[in-house]
Amino acid sequence: MAQTSVSSNPRRTSSRHAGLDRDDVVEAALLLVDEGGPEALTMRRLAGKLGVATTTIYWHVGSRDDVVDAVIRRHGERQAEHAVSGDTARQRVMSVARHLRDEALAHRGITRLAELHGETSVLNEHLEVAMARELTTAGVVGEDARDALRAILICVGGFLVVAMRNEAAIPPDHSRTAVWSRVDDPNVDPSTRLALTTQVDLPVLFERTVQAIVDTHVPEA
Amino acid sequence: MAQTSVSSNPRRTSSRHAGLDRDDVVEAALLLVDEGGPEALTMRRLAGKLGVATTTIYWHVGSRDDVVDAVIRRHGERQAEHAVSGDTARQRVMSVARHLRDEALAHRGITRLAELHGETSVLNEHLEVAMARELTTAGVVGEDARDALRAILICVGGFLVVAMRNEAAIPPDHSRTAVWSRVDDPNVDPSTRLALTTQVDLPVLFERTVQAIVDTHVPEA
DNA sequence: GGAAGTATGTGACAGTGTTCAAGACAGCAG
DNA sequence: CTGCTGTCTTGAACACTGTCACATACTTCC
């Protein structure tokens, strides 16, 4: 257990000091990712934040991949239980889907890290369980529940990818609106071409699309 | 226009030779990504493949980001027109969605590169136009068509993320099935928990899920 | 022939992940 | 108290990455 903060300890060559442990490293890494995204997590930067050498990170946690795993797991454990709302099973499932999206966007750095490492299930375990619970209550069980859960999560994931896309990093002539500004296909309605140069209302489209999927899996109450 | 292949030209220090041009560089880069994924595309590796110095790449194309843009645009231009099949508008839109997924998975290295750089619209321009064409034919135009196109593409994208996930790179205890093997929530039906430790049939779920979205946007013929 | 442009190269810089070898401190048994 | 073992730390180095300054050779044009 840390008795003093790391940063207050004077640093001596090859000097051992009290207090730095694995949790300190993982917490510092989590903050780096939460604030600056996956790219902000480098071993030198993390070591600098902790006031130690990179080798200390390797000792306490391991490689960068090990640090990433630990960050995702730690954040996943922190996912708050939320009050599911709604009168019908469909509404309750939608409630969980919205919460999953909102949590993901509130911590988009961690979400992108989990996505890059294919570990979104670790991150979202509590919410996936919550959704499975609602499906059970709705009478959707077994492989039907598995398919429902997968389909909803895949769709929510698709929306997250788009919502988290850093538009500023895309060359202006490669953005969706730029691409469609150049399209001149007479078989595409002009009002469609015009509309496709404008931004879509993602939250509205999210509601409509996820609801459509929920409706095919969850019976009407 | 290249008269001789690059690899057959003898190399002299600071020697200029005929034949290497921008297209050669972009083609070589495309092959690297197609075969080895985004991580395989390094400036040194690309230069080695072409038998030139990295500065030659910078001269002909530009930075790595410029090379990436060129690769995505080149591949996008190559997207084959495909025969849309189906008797109804809904079937025809589904046909385009399937083709988009199949093309993406056939060139998953390029797909992942485009996704990482947020440039999937450049890659899929022809297929997005094809889908917009089918929507026009179905009487879905303007903002309705924009929303339909977005929703379908977002969902297909979600499936692609899952389909392209490199399961081998995920720590065994962080995979979805491992996560669900540990879940022991009494409010989740046991058959659901069991089902969630097994693999979902992605193509079947794709059909059902995308169809559900198409059905909410495209009227029944 | 000389200037300007084109097309190539070497070597270096700054940053990254990772590890070797070494040192300092803590705990424990004798 | 001493010596051994384990724990926790370090500096330096390695290999790899993207990028660029500067130099050289060739081509084109007047």
- Is the C-beta of residue A65 closer than 7 Å to nucleic acid chain C? yes
- Report residue B117 as tokens: 């750089």
Are both A125 and A211 inside the same structural domain?
yes
Are both A72 and A109 inside the same structural domain?
no
Domain CATH code at residue B144: 1.10.357
Per-residue pLDDT reduced to its tens digit, A83-141: 889 999 999 999 999 999 999 999 999 999 999 999 998 899 989 999 999 999 999 99
Q: Which of A45, A77, A109 is the last residue of a domain?
A: A77
- pLDDT in the model for residue B152: 97
Are both A162 and A84 inside the same structural domain?
yes
Residue nearest to nucleotide D7 (CA to C1'): A16
Per-residue pLDDT reduced to its tens digit, A149-159: 999 999 999 99
Q: How far away is chain B from the Cα of A158, in angstroms, using its nearest Cα?
A: 4
Are both A116 and A156 inside the same structural domain?
yes
Residue A174 inside a domain? The answer is no
Residue B7 to residues B11, B43, B54, B57, B185, Cα–Cα distance (Å) = 9, 17, 16, 15, 62
- Is the C-beta of residue B45 closer than 7 Å to nucleic acid chain D? yes
Residue B9 inside a domain? The answer is no
Are both B66 and B139 inside the same structural domain?
no
Q: Do residues B89 and B211 lie in contact, with contact meaning Cβ atoms separated by under 8 Å? A: no
- pLDDT in the model for residue B10: 38
Are both A106 and A210 inside the same structural domain?
yes
Per-residue pLDDT reduced to its tens digit, B151-165: 999 999 999 999 998
Residues of the domain holding A117? 80-167+202-217
Domain CATH code at residue A64: 1.10.10.60
Q: Which of A49, A77, A105 is the last residue of a domain?
A: A77
Are both A73 and A85 inside the same structural domain?
no
- Report residue A101 as tokens: 């999206």
Q: What is the mean pLDDT of chain A?
A: 88
Q: Do B119 and A213 touch (CB under 8 A)?
A: no
Are both B63 and B123 inside the same structural domain?
no
Residue A137 inside a domain? The answer is yes
Residue A27 pLDDT class (50, 70, 90 cuts): very high
Mean pLDDT, contiguous 10-residue spans, chain B (221 residues): 36 55 95 96 96 95 96 90 88 96 95 93 91 95 96 97 84 82 89 92 96 95 70
Residue B86 inside a domain? The answer is yes
Q: Do B119 and A174 touch (CB under 8 A)?
A: yes
Are both B120 and B40 inside the same structural domain?
no
- pLDDT in the model for residue A165: 87
- pLDDT in the model for residue A80: 73
- pLDDT in the model for residue A16: 64
Q: Do B188 and A129 touch (CB under 8 A)?
A: yes
Q: How far away is chain B from the Cα of A127, in angstroms, using its nearest Cα?
A: 12
Are both B60 and B149 inside the same structural domain?
no
Q: Do residues A200 and A71 lie in contact, with contact meaning Cβ atoms separated by under 8 Å? A: no
